[in-house]
Each structure stands twice: as structure tokens, then as C-alpha cells.
């Protein structure tokens, strides 16, 4: 879309307000709005703002930055009463108008440029599987003298909202919710509203369904979409999910483990590379019909897996999901149709044009620009250095490793068990991200500091369950 087309879109839809959105290092969307009459001025000069006020971005003494909108991201916001056009922005230097080193969206753009410069492939295609909970209510708080939370779900008999008496006897217990049918899939139509909005914005959805978690756990999965646009699309999808939930009197959470002892929310990434329209990951006769490039790409991700976790699983809560028994990986290996693997080769994908693998470790607390860029860089490093995963004891293993004897499991490389451990791994292993200039040292240091504060904030507080365990010890 060019400037003239954008202006026509504004005129045809009687747009009153323009909403600019951008992503911070923390993976959250921020926004600033202006009257549509100022559109020409903003397209030419951008919108200046104080970057030092955004977590992890820049020190106060050099905080001036400018938001430059990307016209290709323009879409009508379906939630505001006042007709509003939304645009996704990059955070740029006020003098050069070039994306700053710590702007996550600019990182993804640089990753795309580097990827194409290698000549390995020209198109990177991704499927993010977004898992989340739709809850009827969520109350939480923490201060010096109290801490706790309460979640309610009309789908689970043990967590019914106070005013809900389950008179229709639809609420469930002691069962799994995977592909649960209506009427038990109580919020199917809410999920359908979300998908309809995504489709209207050009985000192609493969399917959606109720997930394993009985307390209204959901999944929405896209078709194969191109990087780096898929990063913008993931932010848009999360925004639609949250706001549609609120419009229906619900609350959505992407927390990896919001409910104890139930299935957690991941965000699996399917990855595929094409060159001149041909899938370079396919090779008939190889393991699972994968090419050597695919295996090297997998090798790079698994070799750098510990440090990657700092970007793909960047919350303290992430590591409450990565536990045995919940179809979440805890070891770095790959295998065919193996749901205990960090990287699974889908057995149902036999078409040469769509042969791919699935990175199962990540979750949606990640910053999609940083997580997908880091995965891409690790994979390219694997191809560049011909990292054979079989020579590093990364598989393939096609059986359930959770059933292995302990001495055998101990030989596998473990996923970090905490956010602190993942951040320490990133500190020690990030050359594959910085040597090409896609990431830089300042970003790594700022990100590490930002996330370490989260680790310390949780680690230094008494846990509510510690009262049960120790108050009268």
C-alpha cells in the first residue's frame, strides 16, 4: 500500500483517528494516536517520543526516538467506536529514520536481510500455534503483606464463577478438553469471532479448536505465513484475542502455566525455507524425508537451544510449563511425530512443498520479533557450520524419552530449568546472533537486565504455597 492508497482508505472509511503501534523489548505493544488530518505530516516525519520511558530501550540522556509507520500494515481497528486506522511502526533514529538496534521490529527486518544475503533461501515461512485460556474472571494482587490469585471458568466444575450455578450441567471435570465439542466447548463462537477478524485482516487461519486444558484452553493456528510479516501478524492476533475476550465479558491469558496441574500454553513454531519456490527442507529418502539443510538447521537450533530459550520462553512462568507429563519438552532433541521432543517432524506432512519441522518449546510470552529472529539465526548458523544434530546426541529419537531409564535420559541435553539459567546461557552463547549485526551487544545486555529483574522479583518474594508448607513449621 502506498501513501495515496492509504489516504483513500482513510477517506472511504471516514477515519477520524490514526493509531500507531510498536513493540518494546518486553514484547508488549504500545500505542500513540493522532487525528487523521495530520496523516501527511506523520508519514513524512514520523512521531517523536521518549524512548527512555519504554522498558529496556534507552537511557534518559539519549531518549529521543521517532516512530515511522509501515504503510503495508494498515488495517481498520474493529474495536473502537470512533473510526480508527491502525499502523504498525518501527522505532527509528530521529536523524537517520533507520530502525534502532534495540527495536525488535528492526531486528526482524535485519534478520530478513541477512537471511536473504546468505543465498541459502529467499523465503522463510512460519506457522505459530497460539495457545491461550479464556477465563470468566481473574483476580490477583501482591504487596508486602499479601499475595494471591483466583481464576474462574464456567467450563470447569471446580472453578465456576460465583454467580454461575451450572444449571445446564455442561461444565466438566476429570476429563481432557482436546477438541471438545459444543456445548462443552462453551466459547467456540467467541473463538470464531476472533478468527473472522484475523481473516478480515489478511491473516490466514488454518484452524482453531479447544485445547487439552479443561478450563477453556484454546488454540488458533495460522497457515504458513512469511517472515517477518508473521511477527506483526502474531502481535495483531494476540491483540484481537484479548480485546474480543473483553468484549464478551471474558479475560484471555497467554501465561504458559496459569493453572496448576493442567496443560500449559505454548506457542509452537513450524518453520520452512524456500528457494525460487522450492522447499529446501525436503529430500526424498532422508530421515523423515528431510534434506541435509533441514537437518543442519535443526542442528543449529538445538546446539544454541539453551540460549534461544531466553527469547522463546522469557518468563519465570514459562518454566512451570516445561515439565514432564504435559506434552511439553524438557530435553533438546528431535524426532518424527514425537511430542516429547523440542523439535518434532510432523508425520502428517508428506507433501514436498510443505515439508517442515515444529519447534515445540516456545510460548506466547515471547517477543515474536526477537524469538523468531533468534530461531532463524540459530538455524542459519547450523547450515553455515554444517551442524549435524546426530553427532551431538540431539537425535533423532522417535520414542517417548520420559519412559527412558534415568541414566539414559541423563545423557540428553536439558532445557534450562529457570529464566535465570536461560539468561546465563544467552550471556555465554550469542555470537550467532551478533556477528552478522542482526542483534547487538547492547540489545543482549539490556534484554538480559530487563528479564533478570523479573526473575529476581519473583524469586525474592514468598510464594503463597510456602505459607501452607512452612508457616507452622
**What's the CA dihedral at 297, 300, 306, 308 to 10 degrees?**
-60
Same domain, 295 and 364: yes
Residue 138 covered by a domain: yes
What mean pLDDT comes out for the span 195-216?
Answer: 96
Q: How many distinct helices (H) and strands (E) make up the chain? A: 14, 18
CATH number of the domain where residue 50 is located: 3.10.20.70
Same domain, 448 and 314: yes
Same domain, 45 and 143: no
Same domain, 144 and 83: no
Whole-model pTM: value is 0.96
How many CB atoms are closer than 10 A to CB 212? 17
CB-hemisphere CA count at 13 Å for 302?
33
What mean pLDDT comes out for the span 308-317?
Answer: 98
Using CA atoms, how far apart are residues 268 and 178, in angstroms rounded to an integer? 16
Using CA atoms, how far apart are residues 307 and 422, in angstroms rounded to an integer? 6
Q: Is the pLDDT of residue 105 over 70?
A: yes
Contact in structure between 430 and 307 (CB atoms under 8 Å): yes
Same domain, 69 and 130: no
Tens-place pLDDT, residues 27-46? 999 999 999 999 999 999 99
Tens-place pLDDT, residues 13-30? 999 999 999 999 999 999
User: What band does 337 get if pLDDT is binned at 50, 70 and 90?
Assistant: confident
Using CA atoms, how far apart are residues 104 and 472, in angstroms rounded to an integer? 48
Same domain, 392 and 257: yes
User: What band does 99 get if pLDDT is binned at 50, 70 and 90?
Assistant: very high
Residue 79 covered by a domain: yes
What is the average pLDDT score of the chain?
94
Q: Is the pLDDT of residue 61 over 60?
A: no
Same domain, 258 and 375: yes
Q: Is the pLDDT of residue 60 over 70?
A: no
Using CA atoms, how far apart are residues 269 and 161, in angstroms rounded to an integer? 34
Q: Is the pLDDT of residue 391 over 80?
A: yes
Range of the domain at 437: 123-149+221-228+253-470
List alpha helices for 385-418, DSSP H.
406-409
Percent of the chain whose pLDDT exceeds 90: 87
Using CA atoms, how far apart are residues 81 and 100, in angstroms rounded to an integer? 34
Contact in structure between 290 and 281 (CB atoms under 8 Å): yes
Q: Is the pLDDT of residue 451 over 80?
A: yes
Residue 34 covered by a domain: yes
Quickly list DSSP for 118-134: TSS-SEEEEEEEEEEEE
Tens-place pLDDT, residues 62-88? 578 999 999 999 999 999 999 999 999
Same domain, 442 and 345: yes
Residue 388 covered by a domain: yes
φ/ψ (deg, to 5) at 218: -125, 160
Domains: count for the chain = 2
User: What band does 328 get if pLDDT is binned at 50, 70 and 90?
Assistant: confident
Between strands 75-76 and 225-226, the pairing is unpaired
Same domain, 135 and 40: no
Same domain, 290 and 399: yes
Partners of residue 196 on adjacent β-strands: none
Partners of residue 282 on adjacent β-strands: 290
Same domain, 140 and 43: no
Same domain, 330 and 258: yes
Q: Is the pLDDT of residue 367 over 60?
A: yes
- Look at residue 231 in the predicted model and tell me its pLDDT: 98
CATH number of the domain where residue 381 is located: 3.30.590.10
Nearest to 446 by CA among 428, 468, 463, 423: 423
- Look at residue 190 in the predicted model and tell me its pLDDT: 98
The C-alpha angle with vertex 165 and arms to 163 and 171, in degrees rounded to 5, equals 115
Residue 353 covered by a domain: yes
Q: Which residues are catalytic?
A: 50, 129, 131, 211, 219, 268, 339, 358, 360
Nearest to 442 by CA among 113, 94, 62: 62
Residue 347 covered by a domain: yes
Quickly list DSSP for 245-268: HHHTT-EEE--S-SSTTSPPP-EE
Using CA atoms, how far apart are residues 226 and 125, in angstroms rounded to an integer? 5
The number of angstroms, rounded, from the C-alpha of 2 to the middle of its chain's C-alpha atoms is 29
- Look at residue 56 in the predicted model and tell me its pLDDT: 73
CB-hemisphere CA count at 13 Å for 41?
8
Quickly list DSSP for 282-330: B-TTSGGGB-HHHHHHHHHHHHTHHHHHHHHS-STTHHHHS-TTTT---
Contact in structure between 357 and 334 (CB atoms under 8 Å): yes
Contact in structure between 410 and 404 (CB atoms under 8 Å): no
Residue 170 covered by a domain: no
Residue 404 covered by a domain: yes
The number of angstroms, rounded, from the C-alpha of 188 to the middle of its chain's C-alpha atoms is 22
Amino acid at each position: 500500500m502506498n501513501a495515496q492508497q492509504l489516504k483513500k482508505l482513510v477517506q472511504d472509511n471516514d477515519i477520524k483517528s490514526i493509531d500507531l503501534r510498536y513493540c518494546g523489548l518486553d514484547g508488549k505493544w504500545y500505542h500513540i494516536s493522532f487525528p487523521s488530518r495530520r496523516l501527511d505530516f506523520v508519514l513524512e516525519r514520523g512521531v517523536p517520543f521518549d524512548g527512555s520511558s519504554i522498558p529496556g530501550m534507552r537511557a534518559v540522556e539519549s531518549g529521543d526516538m521517532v516512530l515511522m509507520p509501515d504503510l503495508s500494515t494498515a488495517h481498520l481497528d474493529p474495536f473502537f467506536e470512533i473510526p480508527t486506522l491502525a499502523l504498525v511502526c518501527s522505532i527509528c533514529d530521529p536523524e537517520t529514520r533507520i530502525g534502532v538496534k534495540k527495536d525488535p521490529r528492526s531486528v526482524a527486518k535485519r534478520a530478513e536481510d541477512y537471511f536473504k544475503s546468505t543465498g541459502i533461501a529467499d523465503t522463510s515461512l512460519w506457522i505459530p500455534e497460539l495457545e491461550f485460556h479464556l477465563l470468566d474472571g481473574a483476580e490477583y494482587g501482591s504487596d508486602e503483606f499479601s499475595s494471591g490469585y483466583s481464576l474462574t471458568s464456567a467450563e470447569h466444575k471446580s472453578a465456576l464463577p460465583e454467580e454461575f450455578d451450572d444449571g445446564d450441567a455442561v461444565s466438566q471435570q476429570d476429563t481432557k478438553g482436546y477438541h471438545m465439542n459444543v456445548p462443552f466447548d462453551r466459547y467456540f463462537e467467541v473463538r470464531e469471532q476472533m478468527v473472522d477478524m484475523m481473516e478480515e485482516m489478511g491473516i490466514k487461519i488454518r484452524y482453531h479448536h479447544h485445547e487439552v486444558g479443561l478450563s477453556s484452553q484454546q488454540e488458533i493456528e495460522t497457515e504458513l505465513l512469511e517472515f517477518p510479516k508473521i511477527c506483526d501478524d502474531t502481535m495483531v492476533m494476540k491483540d484481537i484475542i484479548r480485546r474480543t475476550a473483553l468484549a464478551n465479558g471474558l479475560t484471555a491469558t497467554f501465561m504458559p502455566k496459569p493453572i496448576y496441574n493442567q496443560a500449559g500454553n505454548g506457542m509452537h513454531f513450524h518453520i520452512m525455507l524456500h528457494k525460487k519456490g522450492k522447499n529446501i527442507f525436503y529430500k526424498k529418502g532422508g530421515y523423515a524425508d528431510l534434506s541435509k539443510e533441514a537437518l543442519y538447521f535443526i542442528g543449529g537450533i538445538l546446539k544454541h537451544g539453551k540460549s534461544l530459550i531466553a527469547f522463546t520462553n522469557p518468563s519465570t512462568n514459562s518454566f512451570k510449563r516445561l515439565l514432564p507429563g504435559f506434552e511439553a519438552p524438557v530435553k533438546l532433541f528431535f524426532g518424527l511425530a514425537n511430542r516429547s521432543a523440542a523439535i518434532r517432524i510432523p508425520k502428517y506432512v508428506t507433501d514436498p512443498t510443505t515439508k517442515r519441522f515444529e519447534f515445540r518449546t516456545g510460548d506466547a510470552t515471547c517477543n515474536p520479533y526477537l524469538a523468531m529472529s533468534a530461531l532463524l539465526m540459530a538455524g542459519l548458523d547450523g547450515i553455515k557450520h554444517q551442524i549435524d544434530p546426530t553427532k551431538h546426541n540431539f537425535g533423532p529419537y522417535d520414542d517417548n524419552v520420559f519412559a527412558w531409564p534415568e541414566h539414559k535420559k541423563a545423557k540428553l541435553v536439558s532445557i534450562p530449568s529457570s529464566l535465570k539459567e536461560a539468561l546465563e546461557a544467552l550471556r555465554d552463547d550469542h555470537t550467532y546472533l551478533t556477528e552478522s549485526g542482526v542483534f547487538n551487544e547492547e540489545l543482549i545486555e539490556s534484554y538480559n537486565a530487563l528479564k533478570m529483574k523479573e526473575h529476581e522479583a519473583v524469586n525474592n518474594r514468598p510464594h503463597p504455597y510456602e505459607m501452607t508448607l512452612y508457616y507452622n513449621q
